Amino acid sequence: MIIAVGGTKGGTGKSTVSTNLAVILAASGRDVLLVDADDQGTAGDFTTMRNQSREDGAGYTCIALKGRAVVTEIMRLRPKYDDIVIDVGAGETASQKGALAVADLYLVPMAPRSFDVWTLEKVAALVEDARVTNPKLDAAVFLNRADASGSENEAAAEIITAQPALRLLKATLGNRKSYARASTAGLAVTELRPADAKASAEVRGLVAEIGAGATRKTKAPAKPKAKAGTATTSSKSRTRR
């Protein structure tokens, strides 16, 4: 599955979500490519930290791509990985459009605040444009840094569901210090110790709802070994003169 974590606004949680997805999918046994398509290089820095701090390394491969290369390289790499997660920079850039051209799912984190919600029309327009050449593109928005209470979540949800090009996920991520604490240490929030059970459950709920990790592995399974006695050339016939 190719998941582009995007949106036109900065600071909404794109890098947080894409790095958490990469780690969680890799930990479930999938071969994951994380593409850092943002000049800020957050996903790359996060991965460097993991590679330096963990004996077994990051657990996934990370490359940086931008502009048209997002399309051309991902098309070439697609058969080699089970999942590709793209951390897209903010703005209506060539990288964002490229990611939308190759993705199965466009995943858009959005805080339930007015400035964030105001970008929805731009996001919907990007999706509609991308669907001309990528008609299978699924576009899902979820509330990140959602409030524990108050009417903002509901107001934002109402505006999101009014956009026919986008669907709203049930999963939400709360506004929790653990997300930043984990990222700073090069960890997914599920790896944080002491554990934050609420944050872990939220992010796992998001992974489950988007069906990530549930798709068939893209790589051909290893060929089964020939059963004993069924080899076409027995050792006897090979050694016979």
Ligand X SMILES: Nc1ncnc2c1ncn2[C@@H]1O[C@H](COP(=O)(O)OP(=O)(O)O)[C@@H](O)[C@H]1O
Q: Which chain residues interact with ligand X by CB under 6 A?
A: 10-16, 42, 144-145, 173, 175-176, 179-180, 183
**Can you tell me the distance from the alpha carbon of 227 to that of 209, in angstroms, rounded to the nearest whole number?**
41
Q: Which is nearer to ligand X, 33 or 182 (CB)?
A: 182
Q: Shortest gap between Cβ of 107 and ligand X (angstroms)?
A: 12
Q: Which is nearer to Mg ion, 133 or 175 (CB)?
A: 175
Q: Tell me how crowded residue 90 is: count the other CB atoms within 10 A of its CB.
A: 17
Strands (E), the chain: 2-5, 32-37, 61-64, 83-88, 105-110, 138-146, 167-174
**Can you tell me the distance from the alpha carbon of 143 to that of 201, in angstroms, rounded to the nearest whole number?**
15
∠ Cα 133 17 209 (to 5°): 70
Q: From the list ligand X, Mg ion, none, pick the one residue 96 interacts with, judged by a Cβ distance below 5 to 8 Å according to partner type.
A: none
Of 35-43, 48-56, 77-85, 197-205: span binding Mg ion (CB under 5 A): 35-43
At 107, is the secondary structure helix, strand, or coil?
strand
Total residues binding Mg ion (CB under 5 A): 3
User: Does 42 engage in binding with Mg ion (CB under 5 A)?
Assistant: yes
User: Does 20 engage in binding with Mg ion (CB under 5 A)?
Assistant: no
Q: Shortest gap between Cβ of 226 and ligand X (angstroms)?
A: 50
Q: From the list Mg ion, ligand X, none, pick the one residue 155 interacts with, judged by a Cβ distance below 5 to 8 Å according to partner type.
A: none
Q: Contacting Mg ion (CB under 5 A), which of 12, 15, 20, 200?
A: 15
Q: Which is nearer to ligand X, 42 or 82 (CB)?
A: 42
Q: Phi/psi of residue 126, each to 5°? A: -60, -40
User: Does 12 engage in binding with Mg ion (CB under 5 A)?
Assistant: no
Would you call 143 exposed, middle or buried from its count of C-beta atoms within 10 A (0-12, 13-18, 19+)? buried
- Helices within 54-170 (DSSP H only): 69-77, 94-102, 114-117, 120-133, 152-161
Q: Which is nearer to ligand X, 58 or 173 (CB)?
A: 173
Q: Which is nearer to ligand X, 11 or 59 (CB)?
A: 11
